[in-house]
């Protein structure tokens, strides 16, 4: 990984082409080396990357990458895992609200019913493990299904709060739309990985 001081230098006025090159190079190196090593400890360390390096360092590397790229997909997966880790109660509530309306997505996501916060944390870890030691396309599709269920739950939650908290309902509706967009991006990235074009 980059030293945090080096990562800080990537922000701001750095040439966008250089940022893009660094994003793609680091993403390829991390994914392909982990997949080649087949070492469970390497995979476990990469799953915990944000905990050890910090979200800011990962953001400096990959947050500006286009969604239909390897670094863009990795960024979305790490942000999703971090949300589950930091706010498990909200994520669990949204999942429970949305899961009955999305049975196909539930099957793809593969979370036990009824889900606990620990189950959702395990899913986030399994998705990232799949990136580094499994079928990367399946990992992306599981994350996409998870996002679609959360989006449905957020929309139901927004409807329930509309009268009591209209501003909060609008924020939740926007959040649901963002989750749907992220799901579509992850599904697109999965298709590109299968086609050998995700870089």
Q: Which two tokens stand for residue 190?
A: 């999965």
Alpha carbon distance 178, 40 (integer Å): 33
Per-domain residue ranges of the chain: 4-195
Q: What pTM was computed for the model?
A: 0.89
pLDDT tens sequence across 25-61: 999 999 999 999 889 999 999 999 999 999 999 999 9
Confidence of residue 17 (pLDDT cuts 50, 70, 90): confident
pLDDT tens sequence across 63-96: 999 999 999 999 999 999 999 999 999 999 999 9
């Amino acid at each position: 990984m980059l030293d945090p001081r080096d990562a800080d230098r990537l922000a701001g006025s750095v040439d966008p082409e250089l940022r893009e090159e660094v994003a793609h190079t680091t993403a390829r190196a991390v994914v392909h080396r982990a997949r080649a090593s087949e070492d469970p400890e390497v995979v476990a360390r990469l799953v915990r990357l944000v905990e050890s390096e910090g979200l800011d360092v990962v953001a400096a590397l990959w947050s500006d990458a286009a969604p239909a790229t390897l670094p863009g997909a990795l960024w979305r997966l790490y942000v999703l895992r971090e949300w589950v880790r930091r706010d498990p109660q909200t994520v669990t509530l949204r999942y429970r609200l949305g899961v009955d309306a999305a049975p196909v997505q539930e099957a793809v996501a593969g979370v036990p019913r009824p889900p606990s916060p620990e189950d959702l944390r395990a899913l986030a870890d399994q998705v990232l493990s799949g990136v580094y030691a499994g079928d990367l396309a399946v990992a992306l599709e599981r994350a996409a299904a998870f996002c679609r269920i959360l989006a449905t739950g957020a929309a139901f939650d927004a409807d329930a709060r509309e009268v009591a908290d209209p501003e909060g309902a609008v924020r939740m509706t926007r959040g649901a739309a963002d989750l749907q967009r992220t799901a579509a991006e992850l599904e697109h990235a999965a298709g590109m990985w299968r086609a050998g074009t995700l870089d």
